[in-house]
Structure 1
Amino acid sequence: MTTFISAFAADFNLVLAALFAVLYSYRVLYFLVAFQAKRHKYPQSQHIRRCRYAVIIPARNEERVIGLLIQSINVQNYPRELIDVFVVADNCTDNTAQVAKQAGAIVRERFNKAQVGKGYALDFMFKFIEQNYASNAYEGYFVFDADNLLDEDYIFEMNKTLNQGYRIVTSYRNSKNYDQNWITAGYGLWFMHEAEYINLPRMFLNTSCAISGTGFLVHADVLRENGGWVHHLLTEDIEFSVSQIIKGEKIGYCRKAVFYDEQPITFAQSWNQRLRWVKGFYQVFNQYGKGLFRGMIYGKNSFSCFDITMTIMPAVLISWVSLIWNGGLSVALLLGGKQMLGVHPAREFISVLGSYGLFFGVGFMTTITEWNKILCTNQKKIFYMFTFPLFMFTYLPISIVALFKKIEWKPIAHTVVKSIDDIR
């Protein structure tokens, strides 16, 4: 009986490995395409229409950093008269509103303890602008978090991509505090990988990208058709992306538009944030899963529907199933007093080592190709390549806990006070 169970376990693990390979093999193609896409020279139009934009910044107790973001917007290499900055001081108890006003933003305060989260703040401001600034005829809306900073050509480059026909555009996400520790470096390295090895190949292959939290542009028509910002799950960014992809929208990526983001510093902050992300992915899959599967079969964005499904149904779930199965089997065999036939510690070690090597390869290639963009000493760049797999491994317990725990949105304090000049 023990031999039968062990043999079945081996077959089960083989099936899981094959399933993983089939579902995610296309990401290898992305990786290869990325190198060609990096070298590709896109033709430049001689007549770029300069659109009028509103910049929306939801902020909760961000008095230390919001002024520096607005300052980086004010010095953009783009006609300043075509940019208006709007700040939602959302349930603030500090001087965020005053600092934003002094920096030149149009500020509205919002106090609502029942509807908490970035999605509600965005919807509040979109509707305020439509009601009070309709005569300004904004063609699009930028969305940033208060801790962000923009390269001086950010809006100029994003405007070019919008002129190519994309109605939703995401950008290159760099980090203000990459060099702080292995956690901030883990975030920073993944966001760079996401930009250049996932979104860039998508753009090159004419499929849809996805927005990620902050640093994106939405055409005004999209929001009007959408009825405002109606997305209020824990990950409103991926919910918005999924809903638009199902509708047939293709989200673009502008690699020349670079912004800088502050990453969580402590493991506790990181745990809470990524717990919310993973829970939000589960929520999105539960709510939009049927639409995605229909889109794979009938939609004009069929591959994009598959691609985004693989994003919100993380590979770690397959690992979780394997862990539960093998762990439960091992306990059953031990309690039965039987020898654990088919359980080979060396094989398990090689499996873990293989996973480490896979993530190390991702971190290594991203670090090498993005070397000059990483705000870090050379020694730390090398060291954080080795800690990156450990950062990714922590998604396993997070994904398990997120399945069972009730999670609510919690703000993360931003303490890295840097200007765009400091970054340069």
Structure 2
Amino acid sequence: MGEMMFEILGRVAVVLADLYHPGKEIGAVIAGFLSILIFHKTAYKILGFFFTRKFKPAKKMHKYGICIAARNEEAVIGNLLESIAQQDYKKELLTVFVVADNCDDRTGAIAREYGAVCYERFNKNERTKGYALKYLFEQIERDYGTQNFDGFFIFDADNLLKRDYISRMNDSFDEGCKIITSYRNTKNLSEGWIASNYALHWIRSIRHNHRARSVLKLATNIQGTGFLFASEIVKDGWKYTSLTEDRAFTADSVVEGYEITYNDAAVFYDEQPADLKVALRQRLRWSKGHLQAFGESGGKLFKHIFIDTYTKKEKGEVWWHYLYRTLKYRFMSFDTFAQLVPRNVIALFKWIVLNVILYPCFCMEVLGLDYLSSLTGVIVARLGYRVTRYFYNILTAVYLFLVEHRRIEKVSIWKTLLYCVMWPVFDIIGRYTQYAALFMKVEWKPIPHKSRVRIGDLKLS
């Protein structure tokens, strides 16, 4: 029986060895595909270091609804509403809407005390933030009419707004921008290395993604909170209810031809998780939502790279201007598709098949080496690459602290060094939660917020 098993394994090894060279060619194609998806990112980083889009002061003050989905947020929602009340914007042009979603605390009562229009929702089966927003926009349409507003802001209950936030966002909106995101600062950066990891993550997104895309008038991505969109986008209601509704919103907006711009002057503050267990749970949800968004929207975006059904030639438009518009639309589709592709998962699958399975069998059958020694070489090479990436990410953290030191919370040099050394852990966690998300069932759970920081407690630049 044992001899038969060894004979079968030997034959399998021979077959796998024969597949090594074809597998290597396929792997090269996959590697080339993944490289194409990120070839332009270096240009974004360089451009984002020097430039961001500037906006002229608005000529008109627009009417906005401010939407907040809150679940048991009595500890923080009052501070957000206080910062909204302190905005240097005409109060009669702002209406605050809160959906107290499956709450069993005083969230709704506090919202009403601050003058917000509050709706209460109870549905234990549909628990994501997207479902809460869907319900909220249904109520707004019924009672006020969504098209009676020019646009809507989306905030989380733990946010705080700098006093000129809405005015700065109105500058972008008045210039014709339909979807605008903003500068996401952190109100608890010094609470620990986990909170600092999140803070650096948002700053990296700004420097590596948002700034350059805003200058080029392309579509950046929405990241959950702190954004404004034109009311026309919800004329048929809010339809994004997945684990990460922001990714689906971004993808659909790009498919429909919308730019998503970024306003560097509009600053809001966000509370970050400081507990590892909570952080792991959130990163797993992000990863699962990422995979879901790719499944739902990846095909549409890929199609629109090649087939432009949105850009129509206008009467009297010169050919080169139409060509520019259609190429821009196709590139925005490609760029957003590239963000959605789960590159880590694809790269891991390629590495396991090619380097862990096929290559050792090839070495054993063709070169006469044993399997373990071949595999050891592969693993050592991989570890060397990962160590190099770790130190590269440390340098990235140093860069982010240096370029943003005037805007973020000041911490001691020792804490800064600690946070820089620990920063690569954020990407490591993200990588492995993406692998886990392939096999795990993930449910939406609220992130607890407890920070008592008010907008007046922050030293604003």
Q: TM-score, normalised by structure 2?
A: 0.84
Q: State how 1:383-398 maps to structure 2 within 5 Å.
A: 383-398=418-433
Please state whether the residue corresponding to 1:217 is helix, strand or coil. Answer: strand
The 8 Å contact of residues 96 and 116 in structure 2, kept in 1 or not, is answered as: yes
1:365 equivalent in alignment to 2:399: yes
User: 1:324, 1:218 → 2: CA distance?
Assistant: 43
1:312 equivalent in alignment to 2:340: yes
Quote how far apart the aligned CAs of 1:320 are: 2.1
Quote how far apart the aligned CAs of 1:92 are: 0.2
| Aligned counterpart for 2:56 among listed residues 44, 47, 61 | 44
Residue 321 (structure 1) aligns with:
349
Q: State how 1:94-109 maps to structure 2 within 5 Å.
A: 94-109=105-120
The 8 Å contact of residues 186 and 391 in structure 1, kept in 2 or not, is answered as: yes
User: 2:372, 2:111 → 1: CA distance?
Assistant: 67
| Aligned counterpart for 1:287 among listed residues 284, 296, 303 | 296
The percentage of aligned residue pairs carrying the same residue is: 34
Q: Which moved more, 1:283-292 or 1:359-368?
A: 359-368
User: 1:363, 1:11 → 2: CA distance?
Assistant: 36
User: 2:146, 2:191 → 1: CA distance?
Assistant: 45
What is the one-letter code of the residue matched to 2:245?
A: E
| Aligned counterpart for 1:403 among listed residues 432, 438, 441 | 438
1:13-32 deviations in Å (ceiling 9; x for gaps): 76665544332121101001
User: 1:112, 1:288 → 2: CA distance?
Assistant: 27
Residue 30 (structure 1) aligns with:
44
Quote how far apart the aligned CAs of 1:354 are: 2.3
Quote how far apart the aligned CAs of 1:331 are: 8.5
| Aligned counterpart for 1:353 among listed residues 387, 393, 409 | 387
Quote how far apart the aligned CAs of 1:395 are: 1.6
1:419 equivalent in alignment to 2:433: no
User: 1:43, 1:215 → 2: CA distance?
Assistant: 18
Please state whether the residue corresponding to 2:189 is helix, strand or coil. Answer: coil
1:239 equivalent in alignment to 2:248: yes
When residues 8 and 142 of structure 1 are mapped into structure 2, their CA distance, relative to the original with a 3 A threshold, is same
Q: Which moved more, 1:337-346 or 1:183-192?
A: 337-346
Residue 157 (structure 2) aligns with:
146
The 8 Å contact of residues 320 and 396 in structure 1, kept in 2 or not, is answered as: no
Please state whether the residue corresponding to 1:373 is helix, strand or coil. Answer: coil
Please state whether the residue corresponding to 2:166 is helix, strand or coil. Answer: helix
- How many residue pairs are counted as aligned between the two chains? 418
| Aligned counterpart for 1:203 among listed residues 214, 229, 236 | 214
The 8 Å contact of residues 223 and 229 in structure 1, kept in 2 or not, is answered as: yes
Residue 82 (structure 2) aligns with:
71
The 8 Å contact of residues 34 and 196 in structure 1, kept in 2 or not, is answered as: yes
The 8 Å contact of residues 91 and 113 in structure 1, kept in 2 or not, is answered as: yes
What is the one-letter code of the residue matched to 2:79?
A: L
What is the one-letter code of the residue matched to 1:304?
A: M
Larger radius of gyration: 2
1:271 equivalent in alignment to 2:283: no
Please state whether the residue corresponding to 2:342 is helix, strand or coil. Answer: coil
What is the one-letter code of the residue matched to 1:403?
A: L
The 8 Å contact of residues 330 and 340 in structure 1, kept in 2 or not, is answered as: no
When residues 247 and 348 of structure 1 are mapped into structure 2, their CA distance, relative to the original with a 3 A threshold, is same
1:268-319 deviations in Å (ceiling 9; x for gaps): 1111111111111111111112211111112342111111112121332244
Residue 317 (structure 2) aligns with:
none
Please state whether the residue corresponding to 1:114 is helix, strand or coil. Answer: coil
Residue 170 (structure 1) aligns with:
181
What is the one-letter code of the residue matched to 1:165?
A: G
Q: Which moved more, 1:379-388 or 1:138-147?
A: 379-388
Quote how far apart the aligned CAs of 1:322 are: 4.4
User: 1:337, 1:294 → 2: CA distance?
Assistant: 46
1:119-170 deviations in Å (ceiling 9; x for gaps): 1111211121222123992211111000011111100000000011111111
Residue 257 (structure 2) aligns with:
248
The 8 Å contact of residues 3 and 341 in structure 1, kept in 2 or not, is answered as: no
User: 1:317, 1:131 → 2: CA distance?
Assistant: 44
User: 1:264, 1:422 → 2: CA distance?
Assistant: 19
1:262 equivalent in alignment to 2:271: yes
Instruction: Extract unaligned runs of 5+ from structure 2.
Output: 1-13, 309-325
Quote how far apart the aligned CAs of 1:323 are: 4.8
The 8 Å contact of residues 140 and 146 in structure 2, kept in 1 or not, is answered as: no
1:166-196 deviations in Å (ceiling 9; x for gaps): 1111111111111112211111101111123
User: 1:399, 1:364 → 2: CA distance?
Assistant: 26
Q: Which moved more, 1:355-364 or 1:239-248?
A: 355-364
